[in-house]
Structure 1
Amino acid sequence: MFSFGLFYWLSHFLGFLYPTYASYKALMTPGTSDDTHWLTYWVVFSAMETAEAVIEQLMWIPFYYEIKCLLILWLVLPQTKGAQLVFEKFIVPFLKQYASHIDPIFKTTDQVLNSQQMASAAKLAQQYGPGIAAQAMQAAQAEAKRLAAAQSQAR
Structure 2
Amino acid sequence: MESPSKVDDEQWLAYWILYSFITLLEMLAEPVLYWIPVWYPVKLLFVAWLALPQFKGASFIYDKVVREQLRKYRGRNRHADADHKVHILKAEADHGHVH
TM-score, length-normalised on structure 1? 0.42
Task: Give the total of aligned pairs.
Answer: 75
Matched, 1:79 2:54: yes
| TM-score normalised by structure 2 residue count | 0.63
Higher helix residue share: 1
The answer to whether the aligner puts 1:96 opposite 2:71 as a matched pair is: yes
Look up the SS of the partner of 2:29 in the other structure: helix
> Who is 1:28 aligned against?
2
Residue 50 of structure 1 pairs with residue 21 of structure 2: no
Task: Flag the structure with more relative contact order, 1 or 2, with Cα contacts below 8 A and sequence separation at least 6.
Answer: 2
> CA offset at residue 69 of structure 1?
0.6
Give the whole-Å Cα distance in 2 for the aligned partners of 1:35 and 1:77.
13
Amino acid at match of 2:63: E
How far is the alpha carbon of 1:70 from its aligned partner?
0.4
Seen in structure 2, the aligned counterparts of structure 1 residues 82 and 53 have a Cα distance that, compared at 3 Å, is same
Uncovered stretches (5+) of structure 2, i.e. residues with no partner: 79-99
